[in-house]
């Protein structure tokens, strides 16, 4: 799964990095970024295809946790933050968004927890990013619902997940779908079912390192969250 991310790139730099998408309304998020320990329910910059266009994309702001459009009051329970690639095209919560409202979720990295005992009570958090150090995009889907009190349209999103690559399989049985830059516009495009894009990203382009357990609380939101801690050889998880 993918339930925590970090975005160390500023909003202006993120817009420059993903230059094919116009800035849209995300400049107002500037005071919230960099975000070193990003959790669900927070608002993030995502990239969507502009309505009635097959080639134009733009940044918009959206809350992490997908709420379908028919849930006018925002839904009853915690909204899903992930959508499994195996069922995203058939699950009633996801299938309409997958068919027509796919998005990119730009980040600098994400966190995952490795179980250290059968009970799962002992876990070691890891940070995962690109070896290049550059931002990258997760495959997502988005929706809008109408706030019952104000009538405001609230945009939300979830991240697609898939089987792990060789790197991630050492600590977990799932990973977020990471898209190659050459596939960005296809994922955003009008194709109904680009399921071949939902596959493990190559391990040799990624790196992973152990971090302190304080990442477990989203209230801890400082740059040292992603500092490596010494559990063994520095490059133990670097494929």
Q: Please identify every residue annotated as catalytic.
A: 2, 112
Q: What share of the chain is helix, strand, coil (3-state, %, to 5)?
A: 20, 35, 50
91-118: b (≥16 Cβ within 10 Å) or e: eebbbebbeebbbbbbbbbbbbbeeeee
CA–CA dist 180, 104 (Å, integer) = 11
Q: How many CB atoms lie within 10 A of CB 58?
A: 18
**53 to each of 37, 49, 60, 98, how far by Cα in Å?**
34, 7, 16, 17
Report the Cα–Cα distance between both ends of the chain, in Å, rounded. Answer: 21
Do the Cβ atoms of 50 and 57 come closer than 8 Å?
Answer: yes
Please name which of 159, 115, 122 lies closest in space to residue 140, comparing C-alpha atoms. Answer: 159
Do the Cβ atoms of 28 and 123 come closer than 8 Å?
Answer: no
CA–CA dist 162, 179 (Å, integer) = 12
Please name which of 186, 179, 157, 196 lies closest in space to residue 49, comparing C-alpha atoms. Answer: 186
């Amino acid at each position: 799964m993918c339930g925590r991310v970090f975005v160390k790139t500023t909003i202006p730099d993120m817009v420059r990095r993903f230059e094919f998408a116009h800035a849209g309304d995300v400049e107002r998020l500037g005071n919230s970024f960099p975000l070193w320990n990003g959790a669900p329910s927070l608002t993030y910059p995502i990239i969507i295809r502009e309505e009635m266009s097959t080639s134009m994309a733009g940044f918009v702001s959206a809350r992490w946790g997908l709420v379908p459009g028919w849930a006018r009051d925002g839904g009853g329970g915690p909204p899903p933050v992930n959508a499994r690639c195996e069922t995203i095209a058939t699950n009633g919560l996801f299938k309409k968004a997958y068919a027509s409202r796919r998005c990119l979720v730009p980040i600098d990295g994400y966190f995952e927890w490795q179980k250290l005992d059968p009970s799962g009570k002992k876990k070691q958090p890891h940070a995962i990013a690109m070896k290049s150090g550059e931002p990258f995009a997760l495959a997502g889907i988005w929706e809008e619902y109408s706030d019952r009190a104000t009538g405001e349209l609230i945009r939300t999103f979830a991240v697609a997940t898939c089987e792990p690559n060789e790197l991630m399989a050492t600590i977990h049985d799932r990973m977020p779908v990471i898209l190659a830059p050459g596939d960005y516009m296809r994922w955003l495009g009008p194709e109904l079912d680009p399921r071949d894009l939902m596959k493990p990203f190559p391990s040799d382009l990624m790196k992973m390192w152990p971090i302190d357990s304080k990442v477990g609380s989203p209230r801890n939101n400082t740059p040292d969250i992603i500092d490596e801690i010494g559990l063994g050889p520095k490059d133990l998880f670097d494929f």
